Amino acid sequence: MTLNDAYKICCEKTKLHMKKNAGLLIAPTESFTADYYDDAKKCDFAGNRWVWLNSMITGMVSIYAQTENDLDAIKSNNEFKKDYHDKVFVLYTQTMHDIGFLYIPYSVHMYQLTGDVSHRDTALKAADELAKRFNPRGRFIEAWDDMNMEKRECRMIVDSSMNVPLLFWAWQETGHYFYRDIADCHLETIIKTLVRDDYSVAHAWFFDSATGEPTLEANSCGFANGSFWARGTAWLVFGLAMAYSYTKNEYYLEVATKVGEKYLDSLAESPVPVWDFRLPEDKPAKICSNMRGDVLTWDESDPKNMIYNVDTSAAAIMACGFELINSFKQNERFEKYVDDALAVLSNEYLNTDTTKTALLRASNGRNGYTIYGDYYYMLALSVKLYNIKSPWGSIK
């Protein structure tokens, strides 16, 4: 299958998302089957602090609208303007550090596509709420806690490197260095704390609330403390590449490149990685049920089922990061990876049934699909085929 054919499938499935999502702002779970949206229901988007996946759907609609010049898609996406507004203007305490995942693919991208300043205002308010999570003692953005709590976990996770570009964007839009300084401090702490000497990446660390000093490694998404989670690595590479796009700080590009090279050195034969590079050999799968509680179909004690180890979402996200790095400084290994990863994803993992919404199977070490894997796959294809200016990085 050609990449053009694969992108056409993405567009058809995005139109199906629009049809199923009409009048709803649904909350995908971490892992879902191809039939998931048949019973989708409107979620409490504004009042739920834990949502972070919704904009992977509205973001796909924005990508589709941009490449296909489809005004109906813009109109469809605009139905959710009030939902996004109310989350940060009315129920602003119901947010967490993943607010960048919500407002970059939707509000920032819609502002870029339409020039509607109400989307800009909403995205700037979202940046304000993200900035409020900054811990000045530890010089980092706290991840999940309710910031109204006196006693908090003080946890920093690598995923946050994908959220701070919202602060860089706000700096670019307003000229207020307040946003940039917080983003720089946070990324400095991520690099110092989460990036190991061999350029493998930890998922998280806890910090002492009184002193701001890091206390111990934590893990919620990789296999264990000390492991090397593939998707988290991709988050960091892409996040640092975006930071460079705004600041032109060579250190960000240097670390992104070294972590990216460590990722490539850790791959087996396929460009699609195992979901954690330090996964023990007797653990061929992450879990035997997905986030919805459905029992999955493999026997994790059977070595033949190692096929379910892989994370297609990590490959798609890393392809996006490498594309952005290559737009500034050509790296032949990164360029080859983008070509290889998109080819393998399109020909070995793509669900071609356009009556179903899901795109990439075998995401995040599960026998299922993830909406973030689908979104970043579509984004990587759109950049490769159309050289679009995506909302993930400076366009000025």
Contact 34, 374 (CB under 8 A): no
Phi-psi region of 38 (alpha: psi -120 to 50; beta: other; left: phi over 0): alpha
How far apart CA 233 and CA 211 sit, in angstroms, is: 28
93-106 pLDDT, tens digit each: 989 999 999 999 99
Query: Residue 153: its pLDDT value, please?
Result: 86
38-85 pLDDT, tens digit each: 445 567 888 888 888 889 999 999 999 999 999 999 999 999 999 999
* pLDDT tops 90 at residue 183: yes
How far apart CA 48 and CA 99 sit, in angstroms, is: 12
**What mean pLDDT is reported for the chain?**
90
105-158 pLDDT, tens digit each: 999 999 999 999 999 999 999 999 999 999 999 999 999 988 888 888 899 999
Pick the most confident of 12-26, 178-192, 212-226, 273-287: 178-192
16, 23, 26: which is closest to 53 by C-alpha? 26
* pLDDT tops 60 at residue 29: no
For 230-378, strand residue ranges (E) read: none
**Residue 24 binned pLDDT confidence (cut-offs 50, 70, 90):** low
How far apart CA 323 and CA 329 sit, in angstroms, is: 10
Contact 294, 230 (CB under 8 A): no
Show Cβ contacts of residue 116 under 8 Å, excluding neighbours closer than 6 positions. Answer: 78, 110
* pLDDT tops 60 at residue 287: no
How far apart CA 43 and CA 26 sit, in angstroms, is: 5
60, 54, 56: which is closest to 381 by C-alpha? 60
* pLDDT tops 80 at residue 385: yes
Burial of residue 24 (CB within 10 Å: 0-12, 13-18, 19+) is: middle
Query: Residue 59: its pLDDT value, please?
Result: 96
- Percentage of the chain modeled with pLDDT above 70: 88
Query: Residue 48: its pLDDT value, please?
Result: 86
Query: Residue 41: its pLDDT value, please?
Result: 59
Query: Residue 23: its pLDDT value, please?
Result: 64
Show Cβ contacts of residue 329 under 8 Å, excluding neighbours closer than 6 positions. Answer: 253
Query: Residue 87: its pLDDT value, please?
Result: 95
How far apart CA 167 and CA 242 sit, in angstroms, is: 11
**Residue 349 binned pLDDT confidence (cut-offs 50, 70, 90):** very high
Query: Residue 244: its pLDDT value, please?
Result: 98
| 3-386 to CATH, choices 2.60.40.10, 1.50.10.10, 2.60.40.1760, 3.30.420.40 | 1.50.10.10
Alpha helix segments (H runs only) across 195-300: 230-247, 250-266
Using CA atoms, how far residue 136 sits from 169, 211, 333, 394, in Å, is 21, 10, 38, 26
* pLDDT tops 90 at residue 291: no
* pLDDT tops 60 at residue 292: no
Give the H/E segment covering residue 383.
helix 371-386
Query: Residue 31: its pLDDT value, please?
Result: 46
Contact 229, 378 (CB under 8 A): no
Mean pLDDT (whole number) for 171-192: 98
* pLDDT tops 80 at residue 294: no
Say whether pTM exceeds 0.85: yes
How far apart CA 390 and CA 104 sit, in angstroms, is: 10
* pLDDT tops 50 at residue 34: no
Would you list the domain boundaries of the chain?
Answer: 3-386
End-to-end CA distance of the chain: 35
- Percentage of the chain modeled with pLDDT above 90: 72
